Structure 1
């Protein structure tokens, strides 16, 4: 994707934020395939449950429009819809996330790459999120044809006022914002605590609940058998 040169008075990232097309339902890069949807939905549920218990003053959202003011304008609004973001603000239902109304900039943003969105996510959105002030920007490719490494990202360096590469440790990224590891495991993006324990996915939680229910039924049947006259 070729980027135009920024006009005088604007930095390259400001120019990206000024000119980047809005994320809308009609945009071709918004459409997700099954691999992308599985990653986003699973991670959203996992992180939401964890944050509500451990960090109730953090808000987790998925595909919620972020509204922002375009640089060099007074009232021209732009709209970006990250696959997932986390911000330090109260949890409440929202139809959009309005930076122009004083909402804090998301600290963590994740985009899951698809063939239609990869170039936009890696190039344009990197500049846009940096200009907005996002601290951590992670990208994950659930299929092999979308780039290597599958998990990569950028951290905000306040000294340079821009993103710098986020260093991988094996196939993991340590998120200071979340206090968790992001771990690439084939087509899955998992979340791991500092002690090495993985947060359960919704599917794993349901499987565990079913196993416990089956064990309760077994014990109830055994108790009834033993107490028969």
Structure 2
């Protein structure tokens, strides 16, 4: 996606918009909670961000929801990533920070500007990574930029995290937990407005299942955020 506490460059710099479609890289995932066979131990820790305290906003069941953070992000370094954060889009984590977690779906406007995003452009939200490795999506971006994947690779290795909104399907009883980040690209302003109006993962999921041509994803990442939703 965030609008209360954000970090600027140094302790964090904010995201530029991921402004291109990536349909060929889309991987559709279930909206239920996550479970992995193996959780990270101290000896197997992935990329970690510094622990900070703050809040952002998100959407749940047709209403706004406040997210409270106090724990840095986790990106599984068992996934080879060229980004400085160790975070990558286009592939799911192999080793999660916990056995049980829930999905966090972030919607990203592709090719147009949206005001008032939960996590706006040019700012990095609290306990979020500044950048992502998007090289796995290079083949999908080839026709957009009319360039070969090889020419796109340098810009995608450490791509600034795009501005986005957040959607969750549960508040987990208000208890803090890890959230598995999954990306949904939106290529049409009217579709994005409808998604924001409903403020609901159920609505977004329905549009994905209906194969709305303006939606791309969910696309997996190796990234987890830790927060409590209220």
Structure having the higher Rg: 1
Q: Which has the higher strand share?
A: 2
TM-score by length of structure 1 reads 0.26
TM-score by length of structure 2 reads 0.26
Q: Which has the higher helix share?
A: 1
Q: Which has the higher contact order (CA 8 A, sep 6+)?
A: 2
